[in-house]
Amino acid sequence: MRTFVVLRLLSFFLLSPSLARGYEDASADDDDSAVDSLAKLYCGRDNCYSLLEVSREATVREIKHSYRRLARVYHPDKQAASKDPAAREAAQSMFTKIAKAYEVLSNPKLREAYDLYIDHPEYAAYNYYNYYNAVYKPQTPVWMVAAAVLTLLSGLQYLNDSMQYERVSKAVRRQRQFQQRVKERLAEEAGGTRALRKMADADRDRLEREIENTVFEEEVRLNGSGSKPADIRRTVGYRFLRSPLSLAENMARSIRWTYRFRINREEYGPAEREYLTRRALKMSEDDWRMVDDTEKEQLLERKLYEGDNLEEYLREREREERARLERSGAYRRYRRIKRAGPASYNYNDD
């Protein structure tokens, strides 16, 4: 909206006759031609208000009432019984003008553009701009467009998350290790391999599907894209609608945190220590839930949110990763090749 207003004001000043001195040499015929072209967009050489027999201060209701009154007189159906062809033709022409005048004055934007044209017919380009802006500017409210876009994006996002999760889920279930674990759990649930063989095919298939889902939910940990099932709460539309509430919650949480731990100097509780540790490691809540309890306790004991504890922890992890890499066969081969240097080839026949 701000850009639109700026453009209107800019075009107004640029196209004003008092400022656009470059147009002073334009011929009067050209000016008349521009005015005639503009007039055709409205009511021609006639005045729209005069055609409807109303004043410029007339309300929409008064304009509508006058149009209906005149239409009852000049409508072609009312003139069908007339035996004078010239009278019928004149009535038809008058009705066309009245209809055009009503079209102009019944539209608030178009009426505003017409009023400016009446007052300043010399602002040719600016009057053209106002007319086409009133006629062709989209009438759909901005909020409806935004709602449609958010709904479409949310639907596509939800569908994409569903497809990715389904793809990852199928890939995991096809792995040999997963299938072996399902067979073990299936034998345990059935009371042994022999009892499993005696089960009906339908019962065995049903039990296998249940155990497969249980193993996937309880023992499989997924990371990265497609690791979570589709959830409407993660869509852009839901987050946008909830953003005011989320902002208020974050502000309240920040105020409460400041009051408790900075002003009152309270000790951090288990929940606060987990939050600070997770934030120091830049982990989401879902990622933190996937960490086993033993590792969580070790991380909490190190108080990574205090002093240089985090940097020390990261250096330790880097050393451990380097040691693990050095123990791998591929890394040792790489080191041997690097020490030996590039291979040399002698192409001299002598």
**What average pLDDT does the segment 148-158 reach?**
94
**What average pLDDT does the segment 270-296 reach?**
87
Highest mean pLDDT among 17-31, 32-46, 143-157, 278-292 belongs to 143-157
* Residue-wise pLDDT tens digits, 159-197: 999 999 999 888 888 888 888 888 888 877 777 666 667
**What average pLDDT does the segment 67-87 reach?**
81
Contacts of 253 (CB under 8 A, 6+ apart): none
CA geometry: angle at 2 spanning 150 and 9, to 5°?
145
**What average pLDDT does the segment 227-254 reach?**
92
The answer to whether the CB of 96 falls within 8 A of the CB of 68 is no
Per-residue pLDDT band at 330 (split at 50, 70, 90): low
Least confident segment among 147-156, 167-176, 322-331: 322-331
Indicate if the pLDDT at residue 272 is higher than 70. yes
H helical segments located in the chain: 2-15, 28-41, 48-52, 60-74, 85-105, 108-119, 124-136, 142-173, 176-190, 193-198, 201-219, 236-257, 270-280, 285-289, 293-302, 309-327, 329-340
Least confident segment among 5-9, 187-191, 195-199, 255-259: 5-9
